[in-house]
Structure 1
């Protein structure tokens, strides 16, 4: 038996590699995914900033009340805000003895005059986190641990939602969200 040569050519080995078309399709799919993820990621980061600032304020309000009673000294929290940033200060002395210094391009700094002592401060430059209050300062009576005047302090991260901390006369905090609903927070 004789073999006849076949006219079919031997199979070429499979091409290996990544074609330009495949790369462009991959880039297009990634671009579509990123355009849907980036806005929600920004909202997620802003919410984490808001939660962190809120937790710090709550801790500082508890610190203020307990320190005032422990030291048997009237202490207060003062809130300052401006176009360059905002801050709150936990201090002794009168409300006008401590303030934040706002310098463009730098973090706000808390300063107190002689006779007053700065115990804690939190400051944010620009509008990354904004702190506002309906009273300039709240004083804690060391004998009873009561706040006077009572008030509310609002924290907002960028242009996002607002968390309001309502402080009653006994220093208890109630957290609520005015306007926009926030998951896990009661509406005001």
Structure 2
């Protein structure tokens, strides 16, 4: 049989991705995820730290208000560490703020919902005065620290005023 130069090869074109195109797309997505995941983790840590520090801030404000409203000294029970809690009690008796339900008279906040945050405190046995809500251990502070080593301090002055500041100006708070 002789070669017929007039015959044409019929090509079939298939639509879709080739294996190389798919591997390139997977590599691009993997690079984007590798760059973006640390940012998401830092954002989630920052939001958790902001939520925990807001919770402590508002609980301390409530404790001051309750001392004036009830005309009684209000005591704080502080358990620092990773399984932290702060309880607000009407008497100086110890309350268990990690118990479910809490045995504290007024309110409490603990690390449930704020996993990964560590609380440290320079307070020993603070209380709010019944007359003006004054605080008996001024110029000390609570520190909440996240896993990414960002920290927020919650401070009380002698008048019982609560303020928050970010260590190194984190979370848009003014610097401590």
Q: Is the pair's TM-score, using the shorter chain for normalization, greater than 0.5?
A: yes
TM superposition shift of 1:52: 0.2
Deviations 1:99-146 (A, max 9, x none): 45xxxxxxx43754xxxx432112126961111110133211111111
Is 2:174 the counterpart of 1:186?
yes
Tell me the C-alpha RMSD between the 2 structures. 2.4
Distance in 2 (alpha carbons) for counterparts of 1:47 and 1:13: 55
- Deviation beyond 6 Å, 4+ runs, structure 1: none
The structure 2 residue matched to 1:97, chosen from 94, 99, 110, is 94
Structure 1 counterpart of 2:134: 146
TM-score (norm 2): 0.83
Is 2:145 the counterpart of 1:121?
no
TM-score (norm 1): 0.79
Deviations 1:57-102 (A, max 9, x none): 11111111111111112112222124x61111111111x52245xx
Gaps of 5+ in 2: none
The 1:159/1:127 distance shift into structure 2, 3 A limit, reads: farther
Distance in 1 (alpha carbons) for counterparts of 2:80 and 2:142: 12
Gaps of 5+ in 1: 1-5, 101-107
State the secondary structure of the residue aligned to 1:50.
helix
TM superposition shift of 1:9: 4.0
8 Å contact kept, 1:80–1:136: no
The structure 1 residue matched to 2:119, chosen from 127, 131, 146, is 131
8 Å contact kept, 2:77–2:94: no
